[in-house]
Structure 1
Amino acid sequence: MEQGIATWGTPFELLKSHGPDVASALLIAIVGWLAAAWTARSVRSFGKRWTHIDVTLVPVLASVGRLAVLTVTAMAVLERFGVDTKSLFAVLGAAGLTIGLALKDTLSDVAAGLVLLVLRPFDVGDAIEVDGTSGIVEAIDVFQTKLTSFDGVPITLPNSKVRSAKIQNFTRAQRRRMDLTIGVSATADIAQAISALREVVSSEPRVLPEPAPTVDVIEVADGKVHLLVRAWTLPADFFPARIELTRHFKERLDAAGIVVPVPQRELHIPLREPERRSAPFL
């Protein structure tokens, strides 16, 4: 016991020998904590002023900046007490590798979410299609992207799938082209049918004058002549104009006496002759 006291010395000697290290470590910890808080506030303030950063990305960047400052602070404090930070980094690296392998799918979603938030192929409120899934973007989280389909069904997609898929952003399109195929009878006056469809298109205010809409024959098959109508609209007018044009096409063709044939199938059932039964043998 006495030997242990002699080794450590009196409290005064202990404070004299280690006091500067403790004081400097405490000072570093305080300064680092304040710097971490200041970094997080600065990132949030900068994110509010810079509109090119998505609002969902700001808290993530603030947390990452704060964690980075705290990590550097912790390493500096440990060095003041003689801890070998190199070996600590090796241990943390091995632990991080193990955790990364166990959570590779989750980390892939996080990385993809950060890429989506930085590159911003779409924003909240945009109408998009991701690999055949369409809807309105409701939220872009770190792990997943949330949509609401056009018929009101919530959709959740992992960010890794969204990042690697084909993304179509309908909202960012300057204009959209609709293709409508109208079938008329093969005996109808084609010139009259084309003229009638052009009148309907020209009377629709949501159809853009440039590029000019076109109406022409695209195919003759199954006893019908297929007319292709191509017209351009603004993205917000695409579906309303498409519905109105389809209805007005039918009304205008009916008024002109042009028949829009309905697919028909004829079913022939052969009649079988009744089987002749031989008279029983007597």
Structure 2
Amino acid sequence: MPFACTVDGDLPLFFFSVMPFSTNNIFGYDKQAIVDLFITTSLKVLFALAILLLGFWLSKKLQKLIIRALKKTNLEPTFVSFVGNISYYVLLVVFCVLCLAQLGIQTSSLVALLGASTLAIGLALQSSLSNVAAGILLVLFNYFRVGEMIEVAGIEGVVESIEILSTTICTYDNRLVTIPNKQIIENNIINHVGKPLRRIDLVIGVGYEENIDHVRSSLQWVLDQNSEVCLEPAPAIALGELGESSVKFYVRPWVKSTDYFRLKLQLTEAIKRKLDEENISIPFPQRDIHLIQPETKELDVQAA
């Protein structure tokens, strides 16, 4: 409708027509509805952020609690770290889904998508997942630890590391060999230091002409002189076999598993020196070859 504005009530300033307008209506939307929507959305966002922050904090806290609890057991540190990391990420995914649900996003389709993606990845990485499963079994059942001497799949050496996918072994000639965990699980595992003590088996051959008691006392003297040979269980020295060319004595001392290879070499050398000192012969297989000349017949050749 026409509207005139005047200054001091007598001079017109401008004249225009005013369209119907209400402060409670903005661009065709109810102002109160907009305010309510803004407040509701803001609260949802704030709650979602609170859930996300709580998820980060709680996941980290639970991860530390799980690792602290597992460290009190005899489980391998690699397995403890692996379980801690898996628990952290699983809890984080759960809180992310809750965060999306708080924002009003349909999570059922998202969960289905994640499940399908996990299945597809699992089929594509079937070989790697079998190594992961084998790695979990290795550290869970504690077949060996880092720093132990083992023999597996034709490889012998010291365990350098136990990873989720593979295990690294340092051979005695200082070569690093990486073996897939699946291959380790499928083969026989020999742990040379799985027990604190290990027996050295030596076979010493002497001549048939040697005195048995003299040989036994000489071998016993060598063992007594080595302080690293265990007194319990007591070492055994016995005549074990009458060979083709020698009388064989079985010498079986017990030593610490970690000292096995070093002491085996030391004792072998010490026994050889002692037997030489006592003039005890160590025979070796030998053969005498006799050449027999065939008898030649002299033929009388008569000259024609």
Instruction: Judge same fold: TM > 0.5, yes or no.
Output: yes
TM-superposition CA deviations, 1:165-188 (whole Å, max 9, x none): 333333341211010011122333
Matches within 5 A, 1:30-179: 30-44=50-64, 47=67, 50-52=71-73, 53-179=75-201
Q: Distance in 2 between matches of 1:57 and 1:190?
A: 55
Residue correspondences, number: 265
Shift, 1:63, TM fit: 2.7
Q: Which has the higher helix share?
A: 1
The Cα RMSD (Å) is 3.2
TM-superposition CA deviations, 1:226-280 (whole Å, max 9, x none): 21111101123322321121112111212222211233356789999xxxxxxxx
Kept in 2, the 8 Å contact 1:47–1:55? The answer is no
Structure 2 portions without partners, runs of 5+: 1-27, 295-304
Give the share of equivalent positions with the same residue, in percent. Answer: 31
Q: Distance in 2 between matches of 1:15 and 1:270?
A: 124
Structure 1 portions without partners, runs of 5+: 1-8, 273-282
Q: Distance in 1 between matches of 2:246 and 2:237?
A: 16
Residue 3 (structure 1) aligns with:
none
Partner secondary structure for residue 193 of structure 2: coil
Partner secondary structure for residue 56 of structure 1: helix
Q: Distance in 2 between matches of 1:265 and 1:30?
A: 91
Kept in 2, the 8 Å contact 1:36–1:67? The answer is no
Change (3 A) 1:20 1:192: same
* 1:213 paired residue among 235, 251, 270: 235
Shift, 1:19, TM fit: 5.3
Change (3 A) 1:270 1:10: farther
Tell me the amino acid that sits aligned with residue 28 of structure 1: A
Scaled by the length of structure 2, what TM-score is found?
0.74
Q: Distance in 2 between matches of 1:33 and 1:163?
A: 41
Change (3 A) 1:30 1:142: farther
